[in-house]
Structure 1
Amino acid sequence: MKILQVSDTLSIKRTVDSGTEEQLLAVKAIIEQVKKEGDAAVKRYTEQFDGAVLDSLLISMEEIDEAYADLDDEMVAIIQEAATNIRTFHEKQLRPSWMTTEENGTILGQKVTPLDSVGLYVPGGTAAYPSSVLMNVVPAKVAGVKRIVMVSPPGKNGKIPAAVLVTANIAGVKEIYKVGGAQAIAALAYGTETILPVDKITGPGNIYVALAKREVYGDVDIDMIAGPSEISILADETARANEVAADLLSQAEHDERACSVLVTTSETLAYEVAAEVEKQLAELPRKEIAAKAIENFGAIYIARDMDEAVVTVNQLAPEHLEIMTANAMELLGKIKHAGAIFIGRFSSEPVGDYFAGTNHVLPTNGTARFSSPLNVEDFQKKSSVIMYSESAFQENGQKIASFARLEGLEAHARAIEARWK
């Protein structure tokens, strides 16, 4: 790994992958065909891109039962426990509707309403991501969303991985469809004969999925356009080099563009971690991917003191931040920008990915400066409530009319004046 001084330019910022013109045109074409042809287009693209010929898009209960039979009982129990942890955490995010009554009788408030329907995209291909199912479905369920639809690309055998199906069933998903790519996003946004449209689409995917989500945004809501994973570790001389290196690699193995950064006040730790990363890389099953990520987007920064180190971390605004220092909790108040903050030696990043209960859908590429993790409020909307009293209207009506005329909106002013003339 590159070892640099903090005074060196922070050089890990990645450009957002906006796709090529060819990819964008392909996505637009797919969306238009799904709009026109519905299921026929979805099935055609599924055969073309996934190699699966499907009679039905909908996952049957028989397929759910087969998935349970294929998955080890102990693993099912682990998924159930993780789901409980995630639900318990997100239930604490619930906020009720509220009303206040002024002395003059005016009532103002906010009505919180769950979205009617949400679509969840779960990536397919060579990997299965049951944790993504939990992180998207559970907060939607807690928010009160009644209809949750899951889509995921099938393998050539026309099946979705057993772990994904079991997890969806545990989380309470009733509609699961064997469809992926831009065609899945189009089906969720605009509907087909089989798949009714939804109000919001969440979940990660490849560049075609990301471009499709961007295209349909406005007709439906989306969660975010997520970039490659990233981790920053803030450490001093008390951290253990082998553990720091292992945590850096936990994100590097995700993607060749994943970003792993150590910021430390200890020069000794910096060189020990660099050596450990090389040592552990050699033994990783996904070492080719991790090695490219470390080479291109990995770095170790040596800070003069902890204040400079904290400033550096805040500049990075990482998706995941681990604090591995003496008295780590004392630094929490100084951290302004991070998607998720892991404090202490035993709070390794995968703890949050799978089991602790916090959400692992997090802002990337510096957007933690202004964005938050996926949460219950992402699946709710808020309506303002105004019940103006007669006495308040008489007292303030002329002020309101004057404000309207200031903006040149005479009809606004007259709407007010009509009530006292």
Structure 2
Amino acid sequence: MDTLAKLRAGQLKGLKRLDLACGLTEFPDEIFQLADSLEILNLSGNALSRLPDDLHRLTRLRILFCSDNHFTALPECLGRCANLSMIGFKANQIVSVPGTALPPLLRWLILTDNHISQLPDELGQRPLLQKLMLAGNRLQQLPRSLAECERLELIRLAANQLTALPDGLLAMPRLSWLAYSGNPLADETRTQQADDHTPNIDWSQLTLEQPLGEGASGVIYQAQWREPGQPVRAVAIKLYKGSITSDGSPLHEMNACIAAGQHPNLIKVLGRVVGHPEAQAALVMELIDPSFTNLAALPSFDSCSRDVYADSTRFTADSARRIARGIASAAAHLHAQGICHGDLYGHNILFNAQGECLLGDFGAACFHATDDSPHTRALQRIEVRAFGILLGELLARIDSGLSDAQRGDWHQLHERCIQPNVLARPDFATISRALG
């Protein structure tokens, strides 16, 4: 018996999470039978265009997903759900976001890939807002009230119609992860500059083998590269998808990978694939030794904007310092190229037991000017706060080799990186020197 049939038969009493993707055109009233227990409701992948006005009867509901449906407006009934804190309406046809649709405890709002041109001023009256996903819409400006969301840490604005980033956004005290590629901003005209210097690799020279991983922007495969006159070489190939991701356009990610250039703590790009039979965009990259693994896992529903570390994850002082220095050096290199990574997180770092590390996943990367203006410094110092959070996560997991004085120095550097005054934070060159 499938989930919907079990629901209608009254067999799901006490359920805390319900997932229904079965071509629904109407909200099943039987869901209200779970009002005393239901906390997570996932109705993504249906054909819904409305929700019941009395949705607030689901008094325990904390998380609601309605992505890939037919909504044209964010339902106002959401605003009456007292405990609702996470809302996901990705890939609908939403044009309107009424202020009354925003619940009081809103913490995480996902409106990626819709048709939104304006956001309500009430957004600034949601003090718990921490994560805001708006890529792939039609926004030309942001509400001034957004500056009042002092807990906002992550915002995705890629692939909109913004001609400028508001100063209030760049001064937000906790903002750490910002993506804005694919807007008509002056700095974004640089996205093609590195292309002429990247070798082309014909698809006929490549043989795909097993997949190594898949993300929102594409799939990575191990492959064999048979370059004429050279020994066969094992490489990695990333085949990019064409759709908008939560971070932005996969093609902007590819451009940023190319423009980043070479650095010991970045995954080396060997060339751009040409001649794919379906004209799919792809990059050939250096194959990473299997001894490398992800530093952390993606944030959870509960952690929201914070990575999740395994309980067993521990470091020596030396390996933690090598990771911190490597990532700081890579970020300094990117900033010198006029690039902010936009997603500087433990889950985007590969490392091994010796503390060797690589910063990957350029899905949120953005271009900025290379002058020393307050605007450029603010963009870079937003990323410094992300690094400060990473530094604190490393410090909390050091088991041995760090003296009390060294621990104090790390704590001081951590506090300097995350301080609320954006322009008072150090740059990555200063951070690298402090890490020795």
TM-score range, shorter chain: under 0.3
Structure ID, larger Rg: 1
- The TM-score with structure 1 as length reference comes to 0.25
Bigger RCO (CA 8 Å, 6+ sep): 1
Between Structure 1 and Structure 2, the one with more helix by share is: 1
